[in-house]
Structure 1
Amino acid sequence: MAKSESFSIRQIIELTGISEFTLRGWETRYKAFKPKRTSTGRRIYSLQDLQKARLLQALLDKGYKIGNIAKLNLADLEKILPQQEVLSSMPTPPNKHLKYISEIMDLAHLFKWDEISEQLQKKRRNTKSESLIADILTPLAGQMGQLVAEGQLSVGQEHILSALIKEQLVLARGESRTSNSKSRLVMTTPEGDLHDMGISFAASLSKLEGLKTLFLGPSTPKKDLCETCIRYNASHLLISNTISEKEGAKESLFSYINFLDRNLPTHIVFLLAGRNSMQIDLNLKREINTFSTIEEFHTYLKDLP
């Protein structure tokens, strides 16, 4: 790639997967880029701008705040991100639905909720459910979370868009196959954790795979969860946990899981997901599986009897 190469904003979007709204925000609010302009006012980005955008996104994925890193140059950004992570941050082939997802996010910024609902309904009617979840709704939810973390989307906007995404997940479950499965899954979050987007995706995928699924919603007390699993004759229990005690959970995930382990039959397999579940070391008397992505979980579902 020659040093003299230049890129339009659309090319930057396609090569990085970053939305136009986000790029413009990094440029105008945080002064991350200073693109040149054509005689007609179109932005022209350099190869260095492209590389910087990739590094910024990789660092945001690691938990850095855009306000703290946006003005750093390429050399300083590379010092923060280990070299092996710089290489792994190179983009995967562009999601063919990126333009659609960007358009939905643009509508969300303009509070055009009816238009978003209509667009999602149309997309659902014309897309297979698995593809809708994997290619549209999952990256849309990820983009939403990223913009909230960056302060570019309000909590109120997040709640409305989340509700619209969950509505499509519920409607997609209508295509579930008749279940002859022996597996019986229960899904929830620990008491105090109200973030149920992850288990909403999980429940839809589970039902689409023809598995018997009991979706409890978020924040289930541990004693109630034990009783429910036993009465439902659960074979698997999915716990998604994204917050710590300091952030609002009633107790530590370690304590919550160990209570369940002591009080549930040992044949019930524990499935853990969510940010907070990646940070604990458990030694349980049963099979336990941890998932870092919804794709990993979906692959696991396909092998269940």
Structure 2
Amino acid sequence: MNNIKNTFSIKDLENLTGIKAHTIRIWEKRYNLLQPKRTETNIRYYDLSSFQKLLNVSYLNDNGYKISKIATLSESKIPSLVREVAEANNTESHAINSLKLAMLNFDLGLFYKTYDSLKTEKTFEDIFYNIFIPLLEEIGLLWQTDTITPAHEHFVSGLIRQKILVNTELIQAKQDNNSKQTFVLFLPENEIHELGLMFVNYQLIEKGYQAIYLGQSIPASNLKDLQNYYDDIVFISYFTIKPNTEDFRKYLEEFDDMLLKKHNSKLWILGRMLEGVDNHNLPKKIKSFKNIASLISSL
């Protein structure tokens, strides 16, 4: 089965670009900016080139260019003008748009070109916070609305994972830490979304802390062995989809009983599943954080 999505409904374009379908239709009729195609059954659709053009038009419009002016530009002038504006303004939305286009085309070259361009101006930390996090948030919404396939999400996630690993290895090779505190990073059972936790690991190592990264789907009982080796442990976990909302409180209480009450250990938690949790009523040695930046700033 071919999972590559190369045709889009007007609703898809709305989800991908943030431009309302009503506005897209007006731009079509009034300015002839897009020329939708039709299936044999007369259903309107748009191709990848239409999506790319709409991203560029939206970008120029957001940067002060009137639609009436953009409509007079040639097809070749629009992308070149976008590059000029992006270089002058150093804006991040252009990079995010380029990465979305790379995702839709499964285009490794465009991903690496965009990333390498960002690296000339930004630190890896800046890229992760200001480019990758907003991109991943958008991708999550696009996947939920069936605008993209899981293959698209896995393509981009895999490349971002690769960049975290490369940058972590670069600083780890130079690390000489004397930290008495040990951070142990893990995901609970059946949780596989690890990019956020991997970046926490990167930042801990960058700041000179000792971090032990265990990764996906670790039963809490498996963590007890580490307490035989380290006296001062801060466990860190990132909850995106597991445990279920109804089981989350029970998980924290069992973790507290098993690993925290009788040992000099703590648990720091963050992630989407914390949205429904009463942070003021957590066990004493468990601390929640709104996001990665707030966790790192508490060190």
Query: TM-score band (shorter)?
Result: 0.5 to 0.7
Q: For 1:282-304, what per-residue CA distance to the aligned partner results, in whole angstroms no more than 9, with x for missing partners?
A: 7555332212222222222xxx3
Q: What's 2:32 paired with?
A: 41
Q: CA RMSD, aligned part only?
A: 3.3
One-letter code of the match for 1:137? F
Q: Distance in 1 between matches of 2:220 and 2:15?
A: 43
Describe the SS at the equivalent of 1:216: strand
Alpha-carbon distance change, 245 to 214 in structure 1, aligned in 2, over 3 angstroms: closer
Select 2:153's aligned residue among 150, 158, 169: 158
Moved more, 280-289 or 194-203: 280-289
Q: Does 1:224 align with 2:250?
A: no
Select 1:98's aligned residue among 82, 93, 100: 93
In 1, are the aligned partners of 2:16 and 2:142 still within 8 Å (CA)?
A: no
Q: 1:280, CA displacement in angstroms?
A: 2.9
Q: What's 1:260 paired with?
A: 255
One-letter code of the match for 1:35? I
Question: Structure 1: where are the runs of 5+ without partners?
Answer: 1-17, 44-93
Please show how residues 193-212 of structure 1 align to structure 2 within 5 Å.
193-212=191-210
Alpha-carbon distance change, 39 to 254 in structure 1, aligned in 2, over 3 angstroms: closer
Q: Distance in 2 between matches of 1:113 and 1:200?
A: 22
Q: What's 2:171 paired with?
A: 175
Alpha-carbon distance change, 118 to 95 in structure 1, aligned in 2, over 3 angstroms: closer
In 2, are the aligned partners of 1:240 and 1:273 still within 8 Å (CA)?
A: yes
Q: What's 1:48 paired with?
A: none
Q: Distance in 2 between matches of 1:191 and 1:20?
A: 32
In 2, are the aligned partners of 1:124 and 1:168 still within 8 Å (CA)?
A: no
Q: Does 1:138 align with 2:136?
A: no
Q: For 1:233-274, what per-residue CA distance to the aligned partner results, in whole angstroms no more than 9, with x for missing partners?
A: 452111211224569xxx922222222211224432211111
Select 2:111's aligned residue among 112, 116, 139: 116
Q: Distance in 1 between matches of 2:220 and 2:285?
A: 19
One-letter code of the match for 1:144? I
Q: Distance in 1 between matches of 2:150 and 2:90?
A: 26
Count of matched residue pairs: 229
Select 1:276's aligned residue among 273, 277, 296: 273
Q: Distance in 2 between matches of 1:146 and 1:20?
A: 8
Q: 1:227, CA displacement in angstroms?
A: 2.2
Q: 1:164, CA displacement in angstroms?
A: 0.4
Greater Rg by CA: 2
Question: Structure 2: where are the runs of 5+ without partners?
Answer: 1-12, 35-88
One-letter code of the match for 2:265? I
Q: Distance in 2 between matches of 1:143 and 1:151?
A: 12
In 1, are the aligned partners of 2:180 and 2:232 still within 8 Å (CA)?
A: no
Describe the SS at the equivalent of 2:229: helix
Q: 1:229, CA displacement in angstroms?
A: 4.7
One-letter code of the match for 1:197? L
Q: What's 1:289 paired with?
A: 287
Hey, which bits of structure 1, 4+ residues long, moved more than 6 A? none
Q: 1:121, CA displacement in angstroms?
A: 4.3
Describe the SS at the equivalent of 1:270: strand
Alpha-carbon distance change, 95 to 286 in structure 1, aligned in 2, over 3 angstroms: farther
Please show how residues 66-85 of structure 1 align to structure 2 within 5 Å.
none
Q: 1:158, CA displacement in angstroms?
A: 0.6
Q: For 1:195-223, what per-residue CA distance to the aligned partner results, in whole angstroms no more than 9, with x for missing partners?
A: 21221221122222222111111110111
Describe the SS at the equivalent of 1:35: helix
Alpha-carbon distance change, 179 to 22 in structure 1, aligned in 2, over 3 angstroms: same
Q: Distance in 2 between matches of 1:140 and 1:169?
A: 15
Q: For 1:102-121, what per-residue CA distance to the aligned partner results, in whole angstroms no more than 9, with x for missing partners?
A: 11111111121343134324
One-letter code of the match for 1:272? I
In 2, are the aligned partners of 1:186 and 1:216 still within 8 Å (CA)?
A: yes
In 2, are the aligned partners of 1:194 and 1:219 still within 8 Å (CA)?
A: yes
Q: Does 1:22 align with 2:17?
A: yes
Alpha-carbon distance change, 268 to 119 in structure 1, aligned in 2, over 3 angstroms: same
One-letter code of the match for 1:269? K
Q: For 1:142-170, what per-residue CA distance to the aligned partner results, in whole angstroms no more than 9, with x for missing partners?
A: 22222222322211111121010011112
Alpha-carbon distance change, 104 to 284 in structure 1, aligned in 2, over 3 angstroms: closer
